[in-house]
Amino acid sequence: MTDLITPELVVLDLVASDKADATRQIAEKLQAAGRVTDLEGFLKDVAAREAQMATGMPGGIGLPHARSEHVTVPSLGLARVPGGVDFGAPDGPATLVFLIAAPAGGGSEHLTILAALARRLVRPAFRQTIIDAADEAAVASYVQSEVGG
């Protein structure tokens, strides 16, 4: 089974002008890893989902996500965004952005990932471990062990 997240899917210090830019930069990592086949098609699916309801969570979290025919395997891209990006959370910009990509035919896989991630994101220690991690490998290993199953 393919890991949900790998070091190649982590950006430690992302600089983005807005949520679309942040999402694009993370999605480009997914595409480079062969997990997204059509970047523009996938971004269109993410934007359509984002238009339904903001995906910002309290605590500085952005959780853009989509099921898409352009996704080959369930994947999680992650970026630390020191400058923050507005994902519509009531308490302000997101400094951690998790992009969940699930295949269109994957049933409830993305909801399972979303639920597992959401349960951990309410724990300050989970968020702090990601913020404090020294490198991409440490972030990916930690998140995979906590969320990847």
Q: Would you please indicate which residues are annotated as catalytic (active-site) residues? A: 65
Q: Which residue has the tokens 């430690």?
A: 12
At 32, list the tokens: 């480079």
Give the DSSP letter string of 20-50: HHHHHHHHHHHHHTTSBS-HHHHHHHHHHHH
Q: How many CB atoms lie within 10 A of CB 18?
A: 11
CA–CA separation, 105 vs 146, rounded Å? 25
What are the distances in angstroms from CA 123 to CA 20, 68, 76, 85? 27, 29, 19, 21
